[in-house]
Amino acid sequence: MIGDWDLFAPVVSCSLFQARETGSLHIEGSDVRCPPSRQTRPFYPSVQGILITGDELVELKRHAHDIPDCPGLARRIQKHNGNKPLILSRDGLDWLVAVLDAVLHDPKGYPCVQYDPWKLEYVPHTDERCVTCQRLYDRLNSESQRLYEIDRKEWSKIQKREQTRERKKDAMSRIKTVFEKRGCPAFPARVSRGYTIFYENMMVSRIRQRDKWWEVLWWSHRDKWESIGDMGGVLFDTVEEAATYVLDDPMGIFWR
């Protein structure tokens, strides 16, 4: 059951165009804007042209009374005169796409209509596919897919940030566990590029993540952190193995 679309966010502001040359598409809470189609250089190339034309608005109004479970959206469409933006939620936009899909592809769906200049009224569309509804469906569907792709990418970024944060916290606790099991009073400290091991206020070693491996660094005679050896450094599969290597110190370069 479709609820009240006014409660959903973010809100998509869809300007309706009567002259097919003016207006803008604006997604509240973002900087994505689509300028008039007559401009040669749009600000956002992914969304070009007009979202809803005057003819398509008329066609949409003809179907608005058939939209079930969404009286608020139907009233806004019927009362809209094209002078101000028509406010749609993301869910409302997706719902309109579903309605147009039923109009075009479902034989039991809502019938398309066209204006008959001889009868001066709208009559059922005789063609198999309504060209006006098809244009509107293609445009709204592509916009819905674009917004969905933006949401998917943002959600993926949030998940990656959360995973990175959890991985960093987990690595710190795993290094501490290795030291505690060996009874070593040294402790790790989080730095910008890894974990520095301190013992008696002195830097002993540094463990950093390198791709999917863990590398152990040492404080060289050049007074800087460097990889061990001349073959690309000492790498381990897990942070526990790297911490154990620091404790064992097979080369005698850490606990000097």
The phi, psi pair for 174, rounded to 5°, reads -70, -35
- Asked if 57 and 80 count as a contact pair (C-beta separation under 8 A), the reply is yes
Mean pLDDT score, 19-34: 33
pLDDT at 108: 55
Nearest Cα to 107, choosing from 133, 129, 136? 129
Query: What would the DSSP string read from start to end of 179-248?
Result: HHHTT---EEEEETTEEEEEETTEEEEEEEEETTEEEEEEE-TTSSEEESSSSS-EEESSHHHHHHHHHH
Q: How far is CA 204 from CA 132, 153, 185, 189, 232, in A?
A: 72, 41, 12, 11, 20
Degrees to nearest 5, angle at CA 125 with 121 and 126 = 125
Average pLDDT of the chain is 67
pLDDT tens-place string over residues 229-252: 777 788 888 888 998 999 888 888
Residue with tokens 């097919």: 20
Across residues 31-49, what is the average pLDDT? 33
Q: Give me the pLDDT at residue 229, please.
A: 76
Average pLDDT (178-203) is: 85
Q: Is the pLDDT of residue 134 over 80?
A: no
- Considering the chain, what percentage of its residues have pLDDT values greater than 90? 1
Give bridge partners of residue 123 from the DSSP assignment: 114
**Residue 231: predicted pLDDT:** 72
pLDDT of 107 reads 55
Q: pLDDT at position 15, please?
A: 35
Per-residue model confidence as pLDDT tens digits over 83-131: 666 666 677 777 777 777 776 766 555 555 555 566 666 555 555 456 6
DSSP state letter for 5: G
The pLDDT value given to residue 172: 84
Out of 16-30, 58-72, 138-152, 211-225, give the one with best mean pLDDT. Answer: 211-225
- Residues 52-79 pLDDT 10s: 655 666 666 666 555 555 556 656 666 6
pTM of the predicted protein model? 0.40
Q: Report the distance separating Cα 33 and Cα 225, nearest Å.
A: 47
